[in-house]
Structure 1
Amino acid sequence: MINALKCLSDAGVSVWLDTLSRSRIASGSLAELASKHYVVGVTTNPTIFNDAISNGPEYESQMSELAAREVTAGEAVRTITAADVRAAADVLRPAFLSSASGQDGRVSIEVDPRFAHDTVATVAEARHLAWLVDRPNIYIKIPATEAGLPAITEITAQGISVNVTLIFSVERYRLVADAYLSGLERARETGQDLSQISSVASFFVSRMDTEVDKRLDALGTPEARTLRGRAAVANARLAYKAFEEIFSGQRWEGLQQSGANKQRPLWASTGVKDSSYEPTKYVAGLIAPNTVSTMPEATLLAVEDRGLTGGDSVRNTYDQARADLDALERLGVSYEEVVQRLEDEGVAKFQESWNALLATTEAQLAPREHGRLERR
């Protein structure tokens, strides 16, 4: 059963888990996934932490201490999430030390998504989170918004490793890769060790099909029906094609000679949203070297249970991928309109999740204020 995950690993796909909680760390579940199930990374987001804090008694003691110090909900969230990420990074440290240039064994922590359109605040928050977690094997998650691009360059130039999130279009991915390369060039100018800087570019997959399929269903034609479920994989495969082009040219070769690491594509949102699709759809369809597949636990278990057939499923598919997206355009499904909508919705959803996380934390802090011992 577990051989399917080993096959992914052998094919050059790093298996990451898209969830984290204190109970998973304390129970040894994360350590077991790392030792027996080929999991070599963890990604987090505000929704994941909100679920963990809402349902985890493990946070009780720390929450009481934070309440006693009268910290704000925002500061409490940073402290709590940083503690979980730090502990998870320690669990995955063996994978970090054994992976090529320390690109795996990583845990991601997200910049406050309310700063998604504020470059200065994003940079300040990223620096603070890197200091707060204080582990070499973390990624700071920065959204691929227009304001996020210069922040990616600045943070990379400062030697902080970045997980660029919320990428939906191939063109935006190219800009993300350019921002990373620009950051590496600046880091090289200041004499930094480029081998210690790493990055992944999180390309969101299933949400593309959700939006496109909705538009195809509205058309209701036979041709529209044949294109259901094809946009997301096609889009991601063309992003990988761009990755191959960007990280093979003269600009990259100069950085590589200085010890730089490629910014690997990371396939995010790999859980299917349409129950009629095979649960391993977005894993099996995106197997290629130098990639990361981050999966919710249900998807990871589905891969174990159902297995995977074949190896590389990306290269040599570019013509078909381009044809699928062109066919959508001919039907009036605008690629540019879809990806912009997904970015706008993605930022809004992360902001909503962050606000929910703040509200959950505020509610858990408040009762303790009334039960606090009177200070002398």
Structure 2
Amino acid sequence: MENRLKKIHELGQSIWLDFIDRKIMDSGDMQKLITDDGVRGVTSNPAIFEKAFSSSSDYDADIARLAKEGKSNDDIFYGVAVEDIKRAADMFLQVYEDEVKGADGYVSLEVSPRLANDTEGTTKQALELWKAVHKDNVMIKIPGTKEGLPAIQKSIAGGLNINVTLLFGLERYEAVTEAYIKGLEERVAAGKPIEYVSSVASFFLSRIDVLVDPMLKEKGLDHLKGEVAIASAKKAYEIYKRVFSGERWQKLADKGAKPQRLLWASTGSKDPSFSDVKYVEALIGPDTVDTIPMETLVAFRDHGNAANTLDQGLDEATKTLEQIKAAGIDLAKITQQLEEEGIEKFNQPYDKLLAAIEKQKQKAVA
């Protein structure tokens, strides 16, 4: 029987796994996902690492070793995380090198969420992590905050692969594409190659609906429940197609530049009344990436329907966004709130992670 996940790849979309830990690599399960399911990349974040650190003893020895070297808790975390990312990058090297070199096979590691509103700190740590991992098929994750934009541009100009994370709004997404293009132009002006610089822009979905759906009920727009995030994503794809065509982009493309692909994130359904593969099915289309948690991947493998849906219903998407605007729902304000909450959602597990490291450290020193 045809694998439903592989069918997505045939339609031009890449599935990346939103999960990493040592167990999945040690057990051979990660390799199976690559070979059997056609998984083409991995994303990680502080919450994923916190889960990995606190749910197994796999990291204890490394934490103890680094603690004895007198490292800070942040340095211990990144010391351990970098090893996992390196290993995953080696596993995905075959994907990075197949078909069009550099089209896929990326593994993402995020800068500290505490730096989300610190341009200089983000730029500095992005470069440090890039050098520490030292793999062509790694992406450094930078949040698409206002302060993140100059850091994204500078990192791209420096030749780093960047996964721009925490995007909720269309205006900010367009600003991110501008930072990417300017970074490439800066690189060209400095006489540096751009053909292996790669980037994705991670547009977060289900969290939008979690916030908007109760408002729709109040406004008598219940029929739009679960549709606003998908409508926003379809409009983002319209922006993508406009920005990465035309004369300005063509000049870069002629020098080997690759478009910054849209990546759908937060694609697990958070509302139990929705299908568990709702967000995956609704946004399948060429030249995009979908990063999905393990349970959503398993669900899609079992009963997902792979069809080209991203280009469909664009008029309805426009109408949906017009309707909610007319009803007085301010999407710009909502997406700003989501960005702030998103940073907080990563700060909490990061603090928990550092506390767990501190505990381990005390034990090791004792």
Distance 2:122 2:156 in 1: 13
2:91 maps to what in 1? Answer: 91
Aligned with 2:341 (options 345, 350, 358): 345
Query: Secondary structure of the equivalent of 1:146?
Result: coil
Q: Determine if contact 1:101/1:261 at 8 Å carries over to the other structure.
A: no
Give 5+ residue unaligned stretches, structure 1: 371-376
Answer yes or no: is 1:261 the counterpart of 2:295. Answer: no
Answer yes or no: is 1:50 the counterpart of 2:46. Answer: no
How far off its partner does 1:348 sit? Answer: 1.5
1:355 maps to what in 2? Answer: 351
Give 5+ residue unaligned stretches, structure 2: none
CA, structure 1 residues 351+99, in 2 after alignment: closer, same or farther (shift >3 Å)? farther
Matches within 5 A, 1:5-44: 5-44=5-44
Q: Determine if contact 1:16/1:41 at 8 Å carries over to the other structure.
A: yes
Q: Determine if contact 1:2/1:37 at 8 Å carries over to the other structure.
A: no
1:238 maps to what in 2? Answer: 235
Query: Secondary structure of the equivalent of 1:192?
Result: coil
Matches within 5 A, 1:160-239: 160-217=160-217, 219=218, 223-239=220-236
Answer yes or no: is 1:274 the counterpart of 2:247. Answer: no
Aligned with 1:308 (options 305, 310, 330): 305
After superposition, what is the alpha-carbon deviation per residue over 1:32-52, rounded to whole angstroms, capped at 9, x for unaligned?
A: 111111101000000000000
After superposition, what is the alpha-carbon deviation per residue over 1:216-238, rounded to whole angstroms, capped at 9, x for unaligned?
A: 23x1x6x4211111101000010
Task: State TM-score, norm by structure 1.
Answer: 0.95
Q: Please list every run of at least 4 consecutive aligned residues from structure 1 whose deviation after the TM superposition is greater than 4 angstroms.
A: none
Q: Determine if contact 2:14/2:40 at 8 Å carries over to the other structure.
A: yes
Q: Determine if contact 1:86/1:133 at 8 Å carries over to the other structure.
A: yes
How far off its partner does 1:58 sit? Answer: 1.6
Query: Secondary structure of the equivalent of 2:263?
Result: strand
Distance 2:99 2:129 in 1: 24
Distance 1:202 1:183 in 2: 18
1:135 maps to what in 2? Answer: 135
Q: Determine if contact 1:3/1:304 at 8 Å carries over to the other structure.
A: yes
Q: Determine if contact 1:2/1:304 at 8 Å carries over to the other structure.
A: no
Distance 1:200 1:150 in 2: 16
Distance 1:278 1:2 in 2: 21
After superposition, what is the alpha-carbon deviation per residue over 1:343-363, rounded to whole angstroms, capped at 9, x for unaligned?
A: 111112112221111111111
- CA RMSD, Structure 1 to Structure 2 (Å): 1.1
After superposition, what is the alpha-carbon deviation per residue over 1:1-50, rounded to whole angstroms, capped at 9, x for unaligned?
A: 66211110001110100000011111111111111111010000000000
After superposition, what is the alpha-carbon deviation per residue over 1:253-291, rounded to whole angstroms, capped at 9, x for unaligned?
A: 110001001100000000000011011111110011000
1:292 maps to what in 2? Answer: 289
Distance 1:71 1:366 in 2: 13
Q: Determine if contact 2:12/2:287 at 8 Å carries over to the other structure.
A: yes
* Letter of the structure 2 residue corresponding to residue 331 of structure 1: A
CA, structure 1 residues 108+99, in 2 after alignment: closer, same or farther (shift >3 Å)? farther
1:373 maps to what in 2? Answer: none
Distance 2:26 2:133 in 1: 18
Distance 1:2 1:334 in 2: 43
Instruction: Name which of structure 1's ranges 297-306 and 342-351 shifts more when overlaid on structure 2.
Output: 342-351
Distance 2:346 2:95 in 1: 29
How far off its partner does 1:99 sit? Answer: 4.2
1:118 maps to what in 2? Answer: 118
Aligned with 2:360 (options 354, 360, 364): 364
How far off its partner does 1:103 sit? Answer: 2.6
Distance 1:99 1:206 in 2: 32
Distance 1:251 1:14 in 2: 26
Task: State TM-score, norm by structure 2.
Answer: 0.98
Distance 1:100 1:123 in 2: 29
Q: Determine if contact 1:22/1:56 at 8 Å carries over to the other structure.
A: no
Q: Determine if contact 1:108/1:139 at 8 Å carries over to the other structure.
A: yes
CA, structure 1 residues 63+152, in 2 after alignment: closer, same or farther (shift >3 Å)? same
Q: Determine if contact 2:141/2:162 at 8 Å carries over to the other structure.
A: yes
How far off its partner does 1:167 sit? Answer: 0.5
Distance 2:166 2:179 in 1: 15
Distance 1:4 1:44 in 2: 24
2:73 maps to what in 1? Answer: 73
* Letter of the structure 1 residue corresponding to residue 111 of structure 2: V
After superposition, what is the alpha-carbon deviation per residue over 1:133-188, rounded to whole angstroms, capped at 9, x for unaligned?
A: 11110000000000100000000000000000000011111000000000001111
How far off its partner does 1:69 sit? Answer: 1.0
Distance 1:25 1:2 in 2: 25
Query: Secondary structure of the equivalent of 1:294?
Result: strand
* Letter of the structure 1 residue corresponding to residue 357 of structure 2: T
Q: Determine if contact 1:288/1:315 at 8 Å carries over to the other structure.
A: yes
1:154 maps to what in 2? Answer: 154
